[in-house]
Structure 1
Amino acid sequence: MFRPFSLFVGLRYTRARRRNHFISFISMISMLGITLGIIALIVVLSVMNGFHKEIQERILGMASHATLSDPSGISDWQGLVDELSQRPDVLGAAPFVEIQSMLMHAGRTNAALLRGILPAQEDAVSDLRDDMIAGSVDSLAPGAFNIILGRELAAVLGVGVGDKVTVVTPQLNATPVGVMPRLKAFTVIGLFEVGMSDYDRGAGFMHMEDAARLMRLGDAAEGVRLKLTDMWEAPMIAREIQYSLDGLYRVSDWTQVHRNFFAALRTEKRMMSIILFLIVAVAAFNIVSTLVMVVTDKRADIAVLRTLGASPGRIMAIFMVQGTAIGVFGTLMGVVGGVLLGWNVEAIVASIEGLFDVHFLDPSIYYISVLPSDVRAADVVRIAAGAFLMTVLATLYPAWRAARTDPAEALRYE
């Protein structure tokens, strides 16, 4: 805590009109540098948060929060769905059968992960119905051998609604000419688009009974997909479910399935934060040069204060107050500007695009036409605290030099 004397003199030096206008200019540059650095940090991290949130919502709109599976099949899947649905931390449950397959049409082939679903229950765990761009999920009927494909996958195969595709499964059939993979023709009755290439180019949906028939599971399901009340608690809830079921099923959650992808996003955000924080660091260390020049300019004043009884500690506190004031004002302006810009970046970008007839985000490439932004209080607090701490550290050396000023030497030529 600064003493009132040091606080008063330090703030007076900050407000006073200096003889050396160059020092005032450097102080202003330091303050503006901190302000711009913090604004850049907040806006960039907010946009990255928005992108990550958008990607996460799209992935989890198709993937489940948690999955229980048994490759040999779960015959009493309806009882398992009913039991899991009664848990307070489970919002929805639905059975599924997954098939690693190859799709063929007119000489074109492409690998795809096909999922057998029950249309009436799938809405409880995914957003497939909202992602449909042609056809309807309700058209998936048992025994009809219909299929819904991702938009990009359909384009690669050259098919549309009403065309036939051949599904090649890993199950083998014994034929007079030898062992052959199972082949079955399906009719394309719908297309979906998520905005993620993994799904749009590599996924398809069919009725669960058709998928079970292809995999020779009979009336069984391969597993049950769950939607939880809190997706961030998915690892803990998944373990609790596994223990409650005595480990009968393999249980996984979205943090395991997409671990590498989300870890890469976190690493990207962390490295971008470090790189942008260097802008704040450069501006903060400009305070060092500013205060060094102020100390040199105020040597006579320091000597007089020392002669009147001011201790070295008080002298040091005076210049720490002055440098910290620059940092505080710069940090406050940066936080206010960054938060306001982060909240309105979508509207600002839209206005610039409309004014200059340009497009920063091509929907055909990024699948979004707006710049998402998610300003998080935790990020703002960390940025402000880091910038403030850096400015305080930047004042230590110049303040220490001021405290070591020898009054006799400083007043010799005055």
Structure 2
Amino acid sequence: MVDTDRRVVVLGIARMADAVGNSFLIVVLPLYVASGAVTGGTFGLTEAFVSGLVLALFGFVSSVVQPIAGRLSDRAGKRKLFVIVGLAILALTDLAFSVAGSYVSLMLIRVIQGIAAALTITASIALVNELSASKSRGGNMGVYNALRLTGFGAGPLAAGVIVEGGPYQLSFGTNIQVSGFDAAFATAAFAALASILLVQVLVSDPEETMPTSDDVALAVRDQTGRHLLDPIFTLGLATLAMSTCIALLAPIQPTVNNRLGQGAILFSIQFAAFIGALAVTQPIVGTASDRLGRRLFIIAGLAFLVPTTLVQGIVVEPWQMIVARILQGVSGAMVFAPALALAGDLAKKGQSGAQLSVLTVAFGLGISFGQVISGFLIRYGFITPFAFGGALAVIGFVLVSTQVEEPTAESSVQTTGPAD
């Protein structure tokens, strides 16, 4: 972490606190709906389906808005402001859950949160990119993602403890009680406020970040004519394949537990094993990619992702699944941090907010797609979802191998980031 910018570490810690609060809702909202606190019509849908829709709205809206949010922060040239505004909206909407009494209000809050997350995500990743010299961009991306993922993994565990521990008696001799749900919502809001304080005090926009009115160079086809696909778009497709693979396990938890003869605790360990491996490995891989090149790690990670995904459909013992998930986490780290760094190397000056949103959107869409396709394909055999994921990784491997090159010294002059 020698070359890691202090502001990147602080931004990662701030996003870790925010991720803890936001991932609370993955556990809390379904329980909140099931508790009877939410009333009103369900539009003719089952309560379970509406609960899932409430959760999914966040990712869907965020994915749609991220390119717009990235472009707006490019035009403003003020990444820090967008991060803080997004976090402030998240804090307010976390508190709003306590007074939401209908499914419509829950959905509205999740839509607003999706917009807020888009502001924070795109501005944060652009800020990390612009705070990084090319020789340290991979390491910075790895550290930032590792800290954020640590918060995301810890949030659901803390949420369960807080909800089950309620209600809480307020001190100072009052008779006011706070339910476990309200305590969880307040904790999520507090985490977002803590993030705002950290960013406001310890993070600043680099001097090189200036407002831009240039047209955004987002493309599907390669503008140079050397390849068929644009390299940043291709990296987005590789990220989509990777995130689809890592999301296949969670939706089929009952089937996994039945097959392996295990309970919820072992499944949680298997889920956490992936996140832990991903978080630990990303800074190491990112720093190595600064010295050895990004493309090498992305291609190797996609190749390694094929067997580590496929084997999850073959294992018959809980410990085997744990090992497979750890190895898949290493594979994912080899793809994600170097891909973000390479996209940052390729991004045009003043456009990193919009251009890097291609990868952040792809990651979110891949998670959603993986969850849906896994639940659908499991009916055709336990191995089928994992075989599908392995096939996607093969496609990603071929695309990056044939459509992406490391930027030359001449082409990297236009990219963002401090001078080396």
Normalising to structure 1: TM-score of the pair?
Answer: 0.28
Normalising to structure 2: TM-score of the pair?
Answer: 0.28
| Greater C-alpha radius of gyration | 1
Which has a greater percent of strand? 1
